[in-house]
């Protein structure tokens, strides 16, 4: 009788959404995920829907990485300091701790995630917890736990509480058989790193939860992100951050990629703005769940020439890391982001000249232009 009652409950919760043209299966979330004991049997389905005038309550996972701190600042200016909660499993620097709400959050602790959402009335999640490409290859088991199991926890919590969820993807989601110049939004994706595989998994799982459970899942494939305020985090494109630090401090830089390795890149302020814009975009304007975004594309050699215009005696040398080079050669040289530009008005601000000037100014390099602007 208990089994029959469950089946009746499942069948009664099935409905078709005529507006979207997709089947939406509404289930008590205790039937979701890999563990039937995640949600106690006496729990009911909850929603954290907000009024149109109330700002979202935002939860950022992996907040001490390259993007989290900057995103928290942007969102706090937009929605108010107390409405944005930054989290990580590491101890934050003093300036981060005192800049707004910060909590410890382990994405592998499903029960704790639910408590955070309930106690803080969370309505939006930005899920940034992940091990990046080169670091993930050095510890595949940990990358699998963080990038895949952690994602499953976030998806289940977001679906249960009817939240809007943003999960970043990456150029690493493409593979050697994908179109490279440019890579469109929809094409063959066969990555050969655990990082890339986990990101393809995230894209597909998010889309599945959207069609199956109505989860408001949104995703952007980031190019390489360049930021002066954060340290490189073990990614293949991190040379494009370290080069500015070394150029300003030492006047030389040893690159671990070949001089001709072309990859798509973006300045961090464009990246953070795009993430907020896609989350704020009206649902009816989104024709897909995952979009490419892009700004510029360059090689280490081209970047070095742009730096020389400001620091004439700057020199670059090359000591190629075979692992990183193989990863880079499997990634696109350029991303086609026409759908993002058409659907929700994406537009980048920073090209290569502005990027170089901004980064060198931040690091305090004396600008001695070798060429008239």
Residue 165: the pLDDT is 98
Strand ranges for the chain from DSSP E: 14-17, 22-25, 58-61, 84-88, 102-104, 124-127, 164-166, 169-170, 216-222, 224-226, 252-255, 263-267, 290-292, 296-298, 315-318
Specify the DSSP class assigned to residue 47: -
Determine phi and psi for 99, rounding to 5 degrees.
-85, -10
Higher pLDDT, 372 or 85: 85
Has residue 13 got a pLDDT over 90? no
Residues 6+ apart with CB under 8 A from 364: 248
Q: How far is CA 169 from the centre of its chain?
A: 5
Q: Residue 247 is encoded by which pair of tokens?
A: 């150029």
Interval 88-142: pLDDT, tens:
999 999 999 999 999 999 999 999 999 999 999 999 999 999 988 778 888 999 9
Measured at the CA of 252, the angle between CA 332 and CA 353, to 5 degrees, comes to 50
Task: State residue 285 phi and psi, 5-degree precision.
Answer: -90, -10
Categorize the per-residue pLDDT at 51 as very low, low, confident or very high, splitting at 50, 70 and 90: low
The whole-angstrom separation of Cα 289 and Cα 145 is: 24
Task: Say what the pTM is.
Answer: 0.84
Inter-residue contact 116 to 59 (CB < 8 Å): yes
Given the residues 195, 210, 213, 239, select the one marked as catalytic: 195
Residue range 313-370, pLDDT digits in tens: 999 999 999 989 998 999 999 999 999 999 999 999 999 999 999 999 998 864 444 3
Q: What is the pLDDT of residue 233?
A: 64
Measured between its terminal Cα atoms, the distance across the chain in Å is 79
Q: What is the pLDDT of residue 40?
A: 40
pLDDT of residue 365: 64
Give the pLDDT mean for 223-245.
Answer: 85
- Residue pair 92/69 in contact (Cβ under 8 Å)? The answer is no
Give the whole-angstrom CA distance, residue 74 versus residue 100.
12
Q: How far apart are CA 194 and CA 147, in angstroms?
A: 9
At residue 175, does pLDDT exceed 80?
yes
Note the pLDDT tens digit of each residue in 303-320.
Answer: 999 999 999 999 999 999
Active-site annotation holds for 110:
no
CB 60 within 8 A of CB 79: no
Evaluate if residue 261 carries a pLDDT over 70.
yes
> H helices then E strands: how many in the chain?
14, 15
pLDDT value for 251:
95
Q: Is 9 helix (H, G, I), strand (E, B) or coil?
A: helix
pLDDT value of position 133: 78
- Model confidence at 22, pLDDT cuts 50, 70, 90, reads low
Q: How far is CA 373 from CA 8, 310, 352, 353, 370, in A?
A: 72, 11, 13, 10, 9
Kindly report the number of other CB atoms within 10 A of residue 366's CB atom.
Answer: 8
Average confidence score pLDDT of the chain: 87
pLDDT of residue 53: 76
Contact 115, 161 (CB under 8 A): no
pLDDT of residue 33: 43
CA-based nearest residue to 369, from 303, 313, 312: 312
Q: What is the pLDDT of residue 229?
A: 80
The pLDDT value given to residue 66 = 81
* pLDDT score recorded for residue 185: 98
Q: Would you say 330 and 190 are in contact if contact means Cβ atoms under 8 Å apart? A: no
Tokens linked to 266: 């973006």
């Amino acid at each position: 009788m208990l089994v029959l009652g469950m089946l009746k409950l499942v069948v009664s919760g099935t409905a078709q959404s005529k507006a979207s043209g997709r089947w939406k299966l509404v289930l008590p979330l205790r039937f979701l995920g890999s563990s039937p004991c995640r949600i106690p049997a006496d729990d009911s389905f909850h929603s954290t829907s907000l009024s149109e005038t109330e700002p979202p309550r935002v939860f950022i996972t992996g907040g001490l990485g390259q993007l989290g701190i900057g995103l928290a600042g942007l969102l706090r200016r937009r929605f108010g300091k107390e409405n944005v909660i930054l989290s990580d499993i590491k101890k934050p620097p003093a300036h981060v701790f005192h800049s707004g709400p910060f909590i410890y959050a382990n994405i592998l602790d499903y029960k704790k995630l639910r408590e955070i959402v309930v106690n803080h009335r969370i309505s939006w999640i930005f899920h940034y917890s992940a091990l990046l490409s080169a670091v993930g290859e050095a510890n595949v088991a940990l990358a699998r736990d963080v990038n895949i199991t952690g994602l499953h926890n976030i998806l289940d919590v977001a679906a249960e509480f009817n939240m809007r969820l943003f999960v970043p993807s990456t150029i690493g989601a493409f593979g050697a058989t994908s179109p490279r110049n440019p890579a469109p939004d929809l094409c063959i994706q066969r990555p050969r790193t655990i990082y890339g595989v986990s990101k393809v998994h995230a894209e597909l799982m998010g889309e599945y939860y959207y069609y199956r459970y109505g989860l408001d899942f949104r995703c952007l494939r980031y190019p390489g992100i360049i930021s002066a305020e954060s340290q490189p985090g073990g990614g293949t494109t991190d040379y494009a951050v370290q080069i500015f630090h070394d150029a300003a401090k030492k006047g030389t830089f040893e690159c671990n990629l070949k001089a001709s390795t072309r990859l798509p890149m973006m300045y961090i302020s464009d990246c953070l703005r795009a993430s907020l814009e896609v989350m704020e975009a009206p649902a009816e304007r989104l024709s897909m769940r995952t979009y490419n975004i892009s700004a510029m594309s360059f090689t280490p050699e081209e970047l070095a020439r742009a730096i020389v215009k400001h620091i004439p005696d700057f020199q670059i040398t090359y000591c190629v890391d075979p692992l990183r080079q193989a990863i880079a050669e499997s990634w696109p040289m350029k991303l086609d982001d026409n759908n993002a530009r058409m659907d929700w008005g994406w537009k980048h601000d920073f090209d290569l000249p502005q990027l170089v000037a901004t980064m060198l100014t931040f690091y305090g390099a004396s600008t001695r232009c070798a060429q008239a602007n």
